[in-house]
Amino acid sequence: MWRVNDSNDTAGATSATPVDPRITVTSTRLADGRELIYFDDADSTLPAERGIDERVLDPRPANAQMRQDPLTGEWVSIAAARQNRVFLPPADLDPLAPQRPGNPSEIPSNYDVAVFENRSPSFGPELAAPDAAGADALTELRRVGLERTHPSFGRCEVVCFSPEHEGSFGTQTVSRARTVIEAWAQRTAALSALPGVQQVFPFENRGQEIGVTLGHPHGQIYSYPYVTPRTERLLGSIDAYGSTLFADLLDRERNGPRALFSGEHWTAFVPFAARWPIEVHLLPHRHVPDLAETTLAERDELASLYLRLLRGIDRLYDTPTPYIAAWHQAPVHERRDEVRLMLQLTSPRRAADKLKYLAGSEAAMGAWIGDVTPESQAEALRAAIGTDEA
């Protein structure tokens, strides 16, 4: 076990990643060898020492297998071990809460923010061999053939925002939000350095309507061995439009009818062609490919602006709004000067008691039909967000 607040080990970031010295990082191992990393708030009151995981655990499952769909070229990870994961446990059996008598959870000690390797990952736990993880491997994965398979190399991590049983990112303090953002940034850098990882994806699923199986406030980070289909489509759009796509998009939206708010470093807006009843994009003002390359000042402002956005969305209705908050980051090894970091937050909620379900056109053909105009959606969100600080 070790404690760090620099970038000289696998728990932290690469040397090019800014690291906040106010946030202490402690790395240790769980009983089955998985990595567990504690990120302590800048104003943390927790003791320095952390407990040891004394559970007796089964060996980790073998890597899942990826299979290629020859009709699209996309890869599907068949991860059968996920079928047995915990489903909506009571508070006294919360696997993301600190361990206590009667609850042998995943985290031995109390914490502010904790990150650990998923016990039943969609990708990993094995990584590609270093000599088979470069550009040639990506080229080979993009080739299309019949009944092609490949090990699901990579890594999946769980990011716990709080030791409390209930909540979400939006219910945290500004200090805690800043700690989570620091964890995202440092883990993006560390995961991007692993052999065979082509893209790193931090995200939060919130609400049972989205399919959440744990009510504990948490998110995840997936490290893919390929460039995801959504990003491949984006690369095609950049090829068709030009390398200034993100800069031009931001210039158009910052002062347009769908803008929600702007800070010194970030702007939030409803996209021109929003698919979902609630959809918000958040862009940094300068070109930055991922969270690892944001500055400390950008992270500081993001902590308050992101909370302001999430709390405003929750004020739309009398009950919390389900959503997926997805951090789209540039591929690890290509097009980093063209693909800009972007948050895309989407919710299927189209009224207080109505959800948008993907019907035939959306689910089968990927041809979307919007239920509300993006401009009226932006107007409602501006009113809900207001001008209050987080």
pLDDT at residue number 2: 58
Residue 125 preceded by cis peptide, ω within 30: yes
CATH topology of domain 231-385: HIT family, subunit A (3.30.428)
Confidence of residue 83 (pLDDT cuts 50, 70, 90): confident
Confidence of residue 87 (pLDDT cuts 50, 70, 90): confident
Catalytic residue among 218, 265, 281, 287: 218
Report pTM: 0.94
pLDDT in tens, 32-43: 999 999 999 999
**Residue 218 falls in the annotated catalytic set:** yes
pLDDT in tens, 336-360: 999 999 999 999 999 999 999 988 9
Mean pLDDT over 123-143 rounds to 85
pLDDT at residue number 6: 41
Which residues have a Cβ under 8 Å from the Cβ of 28 and sit 6 or more positions away? 1, 2, 35, 36, 37, 38, 50, 52, 53
Residue 65 has pLDDT above 60, yes or no: yes
pLDDT at residue number 254: 94
Confidence of residue 80 (pLDDT cuts 50, 70, 90): confident
Confidence of residue 130 (pLDDT cuts 50, 70, 90): confident
Closest CA to 381 of 249, 306, 276, 269: 269
Confidence of residue 7 (pLDDT cuts 50, 70, 90): very low
Residue 373 has pLDDT above 60, yes or no: yes
pLDDT at residue number 389: 67
Mean pLDDT value across the chain: 93
Q: How far is CA 368 from CA 171, 209, 236, 359, 360, in A?
A: 32, 20, 19, 9, 10
pLDDT at residue number 326: 98
Q: How far is CA 322 from its chain centroid? A: 16
Which residues have a Cβ under 8 Å from the Cβ of 92 and sit 6 or more positions away? 102, 103
pLDDT at residue number 1: 63
Mean pLDDT over 277-291 rounds to 98
Confidence of residue 133 (pLDDT cuts 50, 70, 90): low
Rounded CA gap, 183 and 187, in Å? 6
Residue 5 has pLDDT above 70, yes or no: no
The ranges assigned to domains in the chain are: 2-225, 231-385
Closest CA to 97 of 215, 195, 10: 215
CB-side neighbour CA atoms (13 Å) of 90: 3
pLDDT in tens, 312-331: 999 999 999 999 999 999 99
Q: Which has more pLDDT, 222 or 211?
A: 222
pLDDT at residue number 341: 98
Confidence of residue 142 (pLDDT cuts 50, 70, 90): very high
Residues 123/77, Cβ–Cβ less than 8 Å: yes
pLDDT at residue number 287: 98
pLDDT in tens, 259-281: 999 999 999 999 999 999 999 99
Superfamily of chain region 2-225: HIT-like (3.30.428.10)
pLDDT at residue number 390: 62
Which residues have a Cβ under 8 Å from the Cβ of 51 and sit 6 or more positions away? 99, 108, 109
